[in-house]
Amino acid sequence: MAALRYAGLDDTDSEDELPPGWEERTTKDGWVYYANHTEEKTQWEHPKTGKRKRVAGDLPYGWEQETDENGQVFFVDHINKRTTYLDPRLAFTVDDNPTKPTSRQRYDGSTTAMEILQGRDFSGKMVVVTGANSGIGFETAKSFALHGAHVILACRNMARASEAVSRILEEWHKAKVEAMTLDLALLRSVQHFAEAFKAKNVSLHVLVCNAAAFALPWSLTKDGLETTFQVNHLGHFYLVQLLQDVLCRSAPARVVVVSSESHRFTDINDSSGKLDFSRLSPSQGEYWAMLAYNRSKLCNILFSNELHRRLSPRGVTSNAVHPGNMMYSSIHRHWWVYTLLFTLARPFTKSM
């Protein structure tokens, strides 16, 4: 094939020769996919053999992987001073054709975010992750960035957010990551973030509502609401409402709300079964940190379900997720009792 010869390689397997109008490409993490220029679509399986492949080994000496303005991966041969969209390692691909397992078999309590995204190319996708400077949010943002997405770390503390951006860039210096200010405890900050994001005139393909507060002592935000309720639920609710038009315009798009199984251990109804709004933002005398957290997580799920019902016909899906029982993170830092509990449980929990 001419493209292979241009890359300094020869076609050695006629069975793998592509039909007219097809092109072989690779993702940043080495998975091979196939572009059908006639029908303008892509697929992971070879159009003739049905096999999935990945490239083996590092790039040859003198070669470097780059990304163009459209998010397409291309390769630079510095020795011969030429570029090509063909991965020079394609002559050394290996088959990846295991029996397709179920999700339960494929992923378990030790599966990492990087493993979940393996083989997926998010080039050209815009992702916003709230609370992305540490913990689950950071790992989520990093995984998206290392798979080609343009990721915005939406954080309250810009110093820590900038440090998180630097950590991601240390792993891949060409990652598209940036930090923007978002304080969910201040509705004005949520509004300013949404305005600043819209001013970029970009799409929004994935919004991960991850930021959360846990075990906080009772306090009111400047908006006059109990802090746990506003940070964990209302701030995200307001953010999604402000960005809803962008999400719909970017369809297919997705909202992911990080909730918790702890939502099962509370309710927001009174004794007669009617919604009791006073439980959402309780007074100091009626406040218990764990119940406040549980109720905010219940609100997350109710919100996600209703959002999906309303927006899925417009191409925007919404999912609420439970990240894992007693996952060790810094969310417990506000009370020493929970810090002790999480420390004792750490050997038996899922790591970041």
Encode pLDDT of 269-288 as tens digits.
777 778 777 778 888 988 88
Q: What topology is assigned to 117-264+279-346 in CATH?
A: Rossmann fold (3.40.50)
Q: How far is CA 259 from CA 129, 158, 246, 298, in A?
A: 14, 24, 23, 8
Which tens digits make up the pLDDT trace of 9-23?
444 445 678 888 888
At a CB cut-off of 8 Å and minimum separation 6, what does 272 contact? none
Token code pair at residue 65? 């992987």
Residue 106: the pLDDT is 64
Residue 8: the pLDDT is 42
> Which is more confidently placed, 144 or 14?
144
Instruction: Read off the pLDDT of each residue in 161-186 and give the average, rounded to a whole number.
Output: 95
Which tens digits make up the pLDDT trace of 59-75?
787 888 887 776 677 88
Confidence of residue 172 (pLDDT cuts 50, 70, 90): confident
Which tens digits make up the pLDDT trace of 298-317?
999 999 999 999 999 999 99
Whether the per-residue pLDDT at 337 is higher than 70: the answer is no
- What does the alpha-carbon distance between residue 311 and residue 244 come to, in Å, rounded to a whole number? 9
Domain residue ranges in the chain: 22-84, 117-264+279-346
> Which is more confidently placed, 156 or 68?
156
User: Given phi > 0 = left and psi -120 to 50 = alpha, else beta, which region is 83?
Assistant: beta
Residue 340: the pLDDT is 63
310, 248 in Cβ contact below 8 A?
no
Residue 20: the pLDDT is 86
Position of tokens 């029996």?
99
Provide the annotated active-site residues: 293
Residue 7: the pLDDT is 39
- Range in 8-12, 30-34, 216-220, 255-259 with the lowest mean pLDDT: 8-12
SS3 317: strand
Whether the per-residue pLDDT at 104 is higher than 60: the answer is no
* Residue-wise DSSP of 27-62: -TTSBEEEEETTTTEEESS-TTT---EEE-SPPPTT
Instruction: Report the relative pairing of strands 82-84 and 93-95 from DSSP bridges.
Output: unpaired
Which tens digits make up the pLDDT trace of 314-328?
999 999 998 876 555
